[in-house]
Amino acid sequence: MALIIRQLAILSGALMLFVGSASAQKLYGPGVSDTEIKIGNIMPYSGPASAYGIIGKTMSAYFRMINDNGGINGRKINFISYDDGYSPPKAVEQARRLVESDEVLLVFAPLGTASNAAIQKYMNTMRVPQLFVLSGASRWGEPEHFPWTIGLQPNYRAEARVYATYILEQYPNAKIGILYQNDDFGRDYMAGLKDVLRDKYDRMVIASTPYETSTPTVDSLVVAIKTANPDIFLNIATSKFAAQAIKKIAELNWHPIHILTNISVSVGAVLRPAGLDNAKGILSAGFQMDVTDPQWDGQPGMQRFRTFMARYYPEADRSEGGPMVAFNASSALVEVLKRCGDNVTRENVMKVVTDLDFEIDTLVPGIRIKTSTTDFYPIEQFRMMRFTGEWWELFGPILDGHVER
C-alpha cells in the first residue's frame, strides 16, 4: 500500500511539473488570456475625416469573422475602437483610455498623421505597440527614436518621390502647382518632391499653397493656384478637401495634369462626391487592389474580400476603398499574432513585427510586406495608375519609393 502511495505521489509530482512547464511556455501581456486578445483602435468616426470611419467599421467586421472561425491560436479578438473626431487632444484621451483603463495589448491602425503624432511619445513611454499606423508620415519609421511605433502603408515622402520621378520622366519642363495639408502629412510630400526635383524645385514649382484641416473649403485656394497657370496640379489633400479641389477644377473648366495622393483615391468616398466625370484622367500611385477595377475579379484575394464583405458588412458602399485598407491591415495583424504563438507579449509582438517578409493576396501582385529591426516601412512599392471614370487602371512597372535613411 505504501508503495502505491509513493508511486501516486511521484506521478502527481511529475504531472504538476508537466503542467507547470506547459503553463510556463505561455507568456501573456496585458489584455491577453487563454481565450482573449484585447486590441485597441482609434478612428475618426466623426469630424472632418469621418469618411475614413468605414475603415474602423470594416475592421470590427473582420475580427467578427476571425472569431467566428475560432480566433487566433484559440483566442478571440476583443476589438475596442474609439472615435477621436480627427482631433489630436481627443486621440491622446482615447489612447490613455485604451492603455490604462481597457489594458489592451496594443493599439492597432490608429488613423491620421496629427492624431498619431500626438500619441506617439506616450505610446513609446508606456512601451505599448502603436502598430500599423494608418498614415504615411515618415516619422512612423524611426526605430532609433520610437521603437514601439511602426506604420504599414507606403510613407508619403516615398510616394511623392515616385510622383516627382514620373514628372521628370514625362514632363521635364512642366510648371507645378501644389495644394497641401499644413501638417506632417503635407510636409512629408513636399520633402519627397524636393528629394527628387532638387535644384529644379524652385523653377518647376510655381505655386505651393497650404490649407488647414479646420478650413471649411479649399475652393479659393484652388482658384489662386490656377491663376499661376501651372501645367500640373498636385492634390495633396485628405478626402473631403481632395473632393472639393476636384470639383472646383471642373467648375473652372481647368484641365491640368492632375495627380492625387493615394489616401484620397476612394471612388465612393472621394471621386463620386466630386463627380466621376470630373475625376476622369486623374493620376495617382497604388499598392493595393482597387475594389472597383474588374481586372481583379478573378483573383482569389479579391474573391475572398468580396465574400467577407457580403457576409459581414453587406451595407457598405462597394465602391469605397476604405474597406480594402482595413482588410489588408487586419490581415497583416492576424499574421503577426499567429506568429506570436503562445508568447503574446508586447515585446514579442514588436520582435515579430520587425522581421516580416510576406505577401497579402489583396495587394498589387509583386508588392510585399517586408521589415527589419532597422526598416520600419513595411510597404515601399507602387505602380502608377489613372482613373478611367469608373475605376483605377494601373500602368507601368512597380516603382520603389524607398527613402534613404
- Domain co-membership, 148 together with 179: no
Q: What are the tens digits of pLDDT across the range 268-300?
A: 889 999 999 999 999 999 999 989 888 899 999
- Domain co-membership, 162 together with 143: no
Contact indicator for 205, 178 with CB cutoff of 8 Å: yes
Name the least confident of 33-42, 174-183, 303-312, 395-404: 395-404
- Domain co-membership, 52 together with 140: yes
> How would residue 329 be classed by pLDDT, with cut points 50, 70 and 90?
very high
Note whether residue 135 is domain-resident.
yes
Amino acid 351: pLDDT: 98
Amino acid 1: pLDDT: 54
- Domain co-membership, 345 together with 311: yes
| CATH code (residue 209) | 3.40.50.2300
Residues 6+ apart with CB under 8 A from 102: 31, 38, 40, 80
Q: Indicate whether 380 pLDDT > 90.
A: no
Note whether residue 14 is domain-resident.
no
Amino acid 12: pLDDT: 53
- Domain co-membership, 314 together with 270: no
Q: What is the mean pLDDT of the chain?
A: 92
Q: Considering the chain, what percentage of its residues have pLDDT values greater than 70?
A: 93
- Domain co-membership, 104 together with 185: no
Q: Indicate whether 405 pLDDT > 60.
A: no
- Domain co-membership, 184 together with 312: no
Amino acid 185: pLDDT: 87
State which residues form the domain around 279: 157-286+385-400
Note whether residue 21 is domain-resident.
no
Note whether residue 89 is domain-resident.
yes
How many structural domains compose the chain?
A: 2
Distances (CA, A) of 264 to 34, 272, 273, 320, 358: 40, 12, 12, 10, 26
Mean pLDDT of all residues in 60-67: 98
Burial of 404 (0-12, 13-18, 19+ CB in 10 A): exposed
CA distance 165 to 279: 23
- Domain co-membership, 114 together with 54: yes
The residues with which 177 forms a beta bridge, in sequence order, are 207, 233
Note whether residue 210 is domain-resident.
yes
The residues with which 259 forms a beta bridge, in sequence order, are 234, 283
Amino acid 2: pLDDT: 54
Q: Indicate whether 349 pLDDT > 50.
A: yes
- Domain co-membership, 56 together with 134: yes
Q: Indicate whether 46 pLDDT > 70.
A: yes
Q: How many residues are given for the chain?
A: 405
- Domain co-membership, 229 together with 306: no
Q: Indicate whether 360 pLDDT > 80.
A: yes
- Domain co-membership, 263 together with 394: yes
Q: Indicate whether 263 pLDDT > 70.
A: yes
Note whether residue 253 is domain-resident.
yes
Q: Indicate whether 16 pLDDT > 60.
A: no
CA distance 359 to 356: 10
Note whether residue 120 is domain-resident.
yes
Amino acid 304: pLDDT: 97
N-to-C CA span, the chain? 74
Amino acid 7: pLDDT: 54
- Domain co-membership, 395 together with 254: yes
Note whether residue 19 is domain-resident.
no
